[in-house]
Structure 1
Amino acid sequence: MTTFYLAVLVFSGLVLLAALSSALAFRFGAPLLLLFLGVGLLAGTDGFGIEFDNDALTFYVGSLALAVILFDSGFGTSFKTFKTSAAPALLLATAGVVATAGLVAVAAALILGFSLLEGFLLGAIVASTDAAAVFFLMRIGGIRVMDRVSATLEVESGINDPMAIFLTMTLVSILSMNETGVQEILPMLLHFVQEIGFGLLFGVVGGGLTVLIANRFSLNRGLAPILVLTAALLIFSATGAAGGSGFMAVYVAGLIAGNRHVRYVGSIRRFQEGMTWLAQIIMFLLLGLLATPRNFPEIFLPAFALALFLVFVARPAAVWLCLWKFNYRPRETNFIAWIGLRGAASILLAILPSLYGLENAGLIFNIVFVMVLVSLILQGWTLAPLARLLKLVQPRASGALEIVDIDLHENAKHELLVYRLAEGAPVLDGASIPRWAIPSLVVRDGLSMRYFYAGNLKAGDYLYLFVIPGMSYLLDQLFADPALAANAGEEPLLGTQVLLPDRPLKELRAIDPTVAIPAGIEDMRLADYMKQELGGKPIIADRLHLGPLALIVRDADAEHNITSIGVWRDAASERPEGPLRSLSRFFGRLRRRVRR
């Protein structure tokens, strides 16, 4: 029992130290997950001397932690976000992972002398973007990038792990059996189809059952999060036991459940956020304890060279190949390419060669560990500055003070926001609040009153609004000090110019000659095109990106016919070109030539 108490004391102390280190991350903008990993390294065999070498335990615990993270990622992704970026994100998560792995395989063969199959294994291990690393770093950096970019990253990082895991498991199995013949290709493909198919099937069914369990058997608010979490782990384990991808299933289940009405959803989200943090801390601590830094110097230079190749060549090339036909702006593609951070998932997969007894297992683990460290340091510390440099940050001069968790009946979808009105805010001067934002309550001088009885809004008021999820950032500038909001990086709520809805699409070239209009519809009415692309029911402040232009619904009638259109042209396109902008424009011209 003394040993047990000591083990619990040490591990809980490490978890507490890792959690407290988050203060450093928020203070200095450091990659938070790097600090978690650093605590594990500091406590490990080459630090304070804790001996830990249980590869199997680390892999199994890490897999469960990753399942919890993926379920939470899916639970927090709206169908609108998923639909917006499903095609490019799916391509990045499949073809992009394979392309990245293939390019790293060639580099590993040249730098390390690996066979192409061993190099491909190394590439598969580091090919996926770590979802938690990306969004934790964006949260710490205080940035919120443009919708299309964040949606693509969110969906890609949520669904690319199954592809990387499948490739790694398959290659490890082949290398362990020394079977590399062509006859193995067909069984591999069939196994992949089975994993993805079962993953989707179990995920859809499991997501529906999760909603049923949460709504029918949740007797109190405290029990609901436990039921949902255990249902997620049940889906993960049942899918894996049936021969499917448990990681795919648990993400899909989270996506299904998160977009349905679930009782006590506020409590569930708060609980899952805490569990996700705990899963990240435990996973990175164990991975840090497992590492032996004294072995890093002998492989540091080749691992560092591979990390640079992955960051500057393999990932950007794969991203450009996957996104060139989706009309992303060059700076958006550049940011997506740069933000491909590697994290715990890659280190976790690097344990598999050891479990299968491969010859270069230790070498592969150490190389991957160094590559993840380089990625977290190089990309993690520059993520926020690059987003601002590329003008991809959403206006946040005066964002919501709080998002209040509420449980609405059935399929109602709104979130409750709290704003504090700044002196001189546009809404105080008569700017209209969009109809999809419903003011409910005003708190003035410590007293609460209904919005319709509060009279004219005043500076310092706290305003509570019900808002459609995902639209809140567009309200920020209404309640901000205009002096803070007046910078070139902010996009006006309803645009700076007004277009007639009956005009043809081709007239957009008068605003920007570089805008790419889909062939065959140049004479289509602007209003009809926007209504079609926005799903048939546009509302005020809905926006549609077309190259450098953002087309915005300024007004619509009861039948959802657009009666006024605003347009916003990215001010960055008028600025003098720097080296990065010149490179972006070069790739943009190259992409258009390839299309023609």
Structure 2
Amino acid sequence: MNQLLLLAGVVIVACILMNRIAAKLPLPSLLLFIGLGMCFGVDGFFKIPFDDYELSEVICSVSLLFVMFYGGFGTNLKTAKPVMGKAFLLSTAGVVMTAALVGAAAHVLLGVGWMEGILIGSVIASTDAASVFNVLRSKQLSLKYNTDSLLELESGSNDPISYMMTILMISLVSGEQISVAGLLLKQILIGAACGFLIGKASVFILNQIDFGMKQGRTIFLFAAVIVGYALPSVAGGNGYLSVYLCGILIGNRFIPDKKEMVHFFDILTEIAQMVIFFLLGLLVTPSQLPEVFVPALLLCLFMLFIGRPVSVLAILKPFGASWQQIGVVSWAGLRGVASIVFSIYVVLSGIPMTYNLFNMVFVIVLLSLAVQGTLLPAVSRKLEMIDKNANVMRTFNDYQDENDISFVKIKITDNHPFAGKTLKEIEMPPGVLVVLLFRGQETMMPNGDTSLEGGDLLICAAPAFEDRENLTLYEVEIDKNHKWRDKPVNELDQKAGVLIVMVKREGSTLIPNGNTIIRQDDLLVFRRQKHAKQAHG
């Protein structure tokens, strides 16, 4: 026991140090984690014998569910909305097309049967969210035409489809008498229903219940993620689809203490990725890899230059995508941990295979990370797809500016109390500083003698508010039947301690006053203050 704990601690420290080294290298850090696992393995320096596929499947599946949840939790739907349709097609039809093409290639190039070939294709059909996110973030790749959002959404959502196809093909190759349509419908419907219900319920509970402890909401969400995977899995549904959908629903809603949740799950998924890639490196026997290197190389080259590009071309070209975008999306089809985990499912099923599938998929993932992951920045630059004016981190919901300052804007109208006054004549609250003034097309650094005019836009800085224990934000969407539709704020029947903080309308944000009219499709953001007394003047 103590030896295992010592090993775990040493490995995590080594992974962290290697992550810092990887930041200075063109290689994806996940590739180094695999290499570290191989160094500890039976053919490595430490000669640790480990071939427990069942234990590896349990550990990797649990780790993968948190990676998939965080992929959904970090997906910014507002940013991804323009590419949502294309991403959905890539993650569904694209996976099926890739699996079929790879299956045909395996049949022709490797001489395996059609069913076995499609099983191999199903295992490696999906792109890997952890690998894609790792490259996009670590290399700060901001791509034109919302391509980074497209890759994020596709890679985060296509693993459940690959998982379903793998389970389906295992059943068919095993000779089980099943209804293909029935199995797929059961997987999708139960998984989607559980993800939707658990996601909605979690948002409601997180906004309505005071857990009475500082990190209570984070602990609750941790438990909800586990339930989100286990419940549909027990019922015969797709647990990975459930947790991904659950993550999207929760991540794109206002919930208290979200910053703390982001930090927690960011650390958790980092550890999960380290564990998965190290464990897979430990599980493999490097001396056996030469036996499958040539078949793995053939399939990898086929996917890179034929299978993936054909699928991407067939889906994106009808949308008018440029050849440059098609090229980058094709190259960014990195394979990773999900494919290896799915190959373990096949090994545990006992299906006789022509080649050792785990070893072959392992080599494919190594080649994909080493070649595609390393060269993705160079390919993006060569195809002139780098967007120098964008920040890829804005694609992710978990992006946080690391500072303690908040910036607010004040629009000066002709009848504003500040109009016609100099800044030194205005009594600003202590700790608030005017840092910028926009006047027409001109940007000014104001001082005390700067006079304000109608049409000016002031940018003020103030210390950020961090203690939110008694402050809860939640939102309400105004539909055509809502009783507040077309009414001014001062006529709304609101409970004590509740305040409309902002109104989201057609992509803009309004700070309301008593005369603001509530319109259909408005999204009202409320503040509920707990355990606070009403202030009286």
Aligned to 1:72: 70
Counterpart amino acid of residue 315 in structure 1: R
Partner of 1:301: 294
Corresponding residue to 2:140 among 121, 139, 142: 142
Contact 1:44–1:288 (8 Å) recurs in 2: yes
Alignment of 1:36-75 (within 5 A): 36-47=33-44, 48-75=46-73
Query: In the superposition, relative to structure 1, how do residues 205 and 400 fare at CA in structure 2: closer, same or farther (>3 Å)?
Result: closer
Letter in 1 for 2:374: W
For residues 198-239 of structure 1, what are the alpha-carbon distances to aligned partners after superposition, in whole Å with 9 as ceiling and x for unaligned? Answer: 111111111112223333143333232221111111111001
1:27 aligned to 24, 27, 31, which one? 24
Q: By how many angstroms is 1:175 displaced?
A: 1.7
- CA offset at residue 255 of structure 1? 0.6
Change in CA separation of 1:465 and 1:202 when aligned onto 2, cut-off 3 Å: farther
2:318 to 297, 301, 325: 325
Q: Whole-Å Cα distance in 1 between the matches of residues 247 and 391 of structure 2?
A: 31
1:34–1:376 CA contact under 8 A, matched in 2: yes
What amino acid does structure 2 have at the position aligned with 1:189? A
Q: Do structure 1's residue 192 and structure 2's residue 177 form an aligned pair?
A: no
SS at match of 1:21: helix
Query: Which residue is 2:153 aligned to?
Result: 155
Amino acid of the structure 2 residue aligned with 1:149? T
- In the TM superposition, 1:429-578 aligns within 5 A as 449-452=431-434, 457=445, 537=506
Residue identity opposite 2:218 in structure 1? P
Q: What residue is the counterpart of 1:569 in the other structure?
A: none
Question: Where does residue 129 of structure 2 map in the other structure?
Answer: 131
For 2:109, the equivalent position in structure 1 comes to 111
Letter in 1 for 2:281: G
Deviation at 1:50, TM superposition (A): 0.8
Alignment of 1:71-90 (within 5 A): 71-90=69-88
2:112·2:354 contact (CA, 8 Å) conserved in 1? Answer: no
1:109 shift after superposition:
1.3
What residue number does 2:7 align with? 10
* Cα distance in 1 between the residues matched to 2:171 and 2:234: 18
Matching of residue 393 in structure 1 with residue 381 in structure 2: no
Work out whether residues 342 and 375 of structure 1, in 8 Å CA contact, stay in contact via their aligned partners in 2. yes
Partner Cα separation in structure 2 for residue 99 and residue 195 of structure 1: 20
1:209 matches 2:201: yes
**Residue 276 of structure 2: which of 271, 275, 283 is its match?**
283
List aligned pairs for 1:142-291, cutoff 5 A. 142-146=140-144, 148-177=146-175, 184=178, 187-215=179-207, 216-291=209-284
> CA separation of 1:453/1:395 partners in 2, compared to 1, >3 Å: closer, same or farther?
closer
CA drift of 1:79 comes to 2.6
Which residue of structure 1 lines up, in the alignment, with residue 358 of structure 2?
Answer: 365
Query: How far apart are 1:389 and its partner, in Å?
Result: 2.4
**Structure 1 Cα separation of the partners of residues 410 and 66 of structure 2:** 37
Q: Could you say which residue in structure 2 is the equivalent of 1:314? A: 307
Larger Rg: 2
Shift of 1:559: 13
Gapped runs of 5+ residues in structure 1? 406-413, 421-432, 436-447, 467-534, 541-557, 561-596
Tell whether the 8 Å contact from 1:37 to 1:288 is kept in structure 2 after alignment: yes
Could you tell me which amino acid in structure 1 is paired with residue 23 of structure 2?
A: F
Distance 1:206 1:389, change over 3 A: same
Q: CA deviation at 1:398?
A: 9.8
Instruction: Name the CA distance, whole Å, in 1 between partners of 2:91 and 2:181.
Output: 17
| Distance in structure 1 (CA, Å) of the matches to 2:186 and 2:267 | 33
Deviation at 1:537, TM superposition (A): 2.7
Contact 2:431/2:462 (<8 A) preserved:
no
TM-score by length of 1: 0.67
Amino acid across the alignment from 1:71: F
3-state SS of paired residue (1:322): helix
Query: Aligned-pair distance for 1:63?
Result: 1.1
Deviation at 1:418, TM superposition (A): 5.9
Local SS of the residue matching 2:236: coil
Please give the alpha-carbon distance, in whole angstroms, between the structure 1 residues aligned to 2:350 and 2:38: 24
Which amino acid in 1 is paired with 2:434?
F
> CA 1:454–1:387 in 2, change beyond 3 Å: closer, same or farther?
closer
Amino acid at match of 2:432: R
- Render the CA deviation track for 1:132-178: whole Å, top value 9, x for unaligned: 1001111111222235212211111111111100111111122223x
- SS of the equivalent of 1:325 reads helix
Q: CA deviation at 1:17?
A: 1.0
Structure 1 counterpart of 2:154, one-letter code: E
More moved, 35-44 vs 322-331: 322-331
Residue identity in the other structure for 1:537: E
Change (3 A) 1:74 1:167: same
**What CA distance in whole angstroms lies between the structure 1 residues aligned with 2:401 and 2:95?**
38
- Distance of 1:329 and 1:248 partners within structure 2: 31
Contact 1:97-1:163 within 8 A present in 2 as well:
yes
- Residue aligned with 2:143, SS: coil
2: distance between equivalents of 1:404 and 1:133?
Answer: 18
Does the 8 Å CA contact 2:140/2:391 hold for their aligned counterparts?
no
1:529 counterpart residue number:
none
Residue of structure 2 in register with 1:430 after alignment: none
Other-structure match for 1:545: none
Count of residue pairs brought into register by the alignment: 432
Give the residue type in structure 2 aligned to 1:194: K
| Number of the residue aligned with 2:93 | 95
What amino acid is aligned across from residue 318 of structure 2 in structure 1?
K
Instruction: Tell me how far apart the structure 2 counterparts of residues 453 and 324 of structure 1 sit (CA, whole Å).
Output: 46
Q: 1:392 Cα deviation (Å)?
A: 2.4
Q: For residue 216 of structure 2, what is the amino acid of its counterpart?
A: L
The answer to whether the Cα contact below 8 Å between 2:143 and 2:385 also exists between their aligned partners in 1 is: yes
Distance in 2 separating the partners of 1:277 and 1:96: 28
Q: Offset at 1:295?
A: 0.6
What corresponds to 2:370 in structure 1? 377
TM-score by length of 2: 0.74
Conserved? CA contact 1:299–1:366, under 8 Å:
yes
Is contact 1:71–1:232 with CA below 8 Å preserved after alignment? yes
- Secondary structure in 2 matching 1:56: helix
Amino acid at match of 1:169: I
Describe the superposition over 1:552-579 as per-residue Cα deviations: whole angstroms up to 9, x where unpaired. Answer: xxxxxx999xxxxxxxxxxxxxxxxxxx
| Structure 1 residues 332 and 465: alpha-carbon distance in aligned structure 2, compared to 1, 3 A threshold | farther
Q: Is the 8 A contact 2:103 2:121 kept in 1?
A: yes
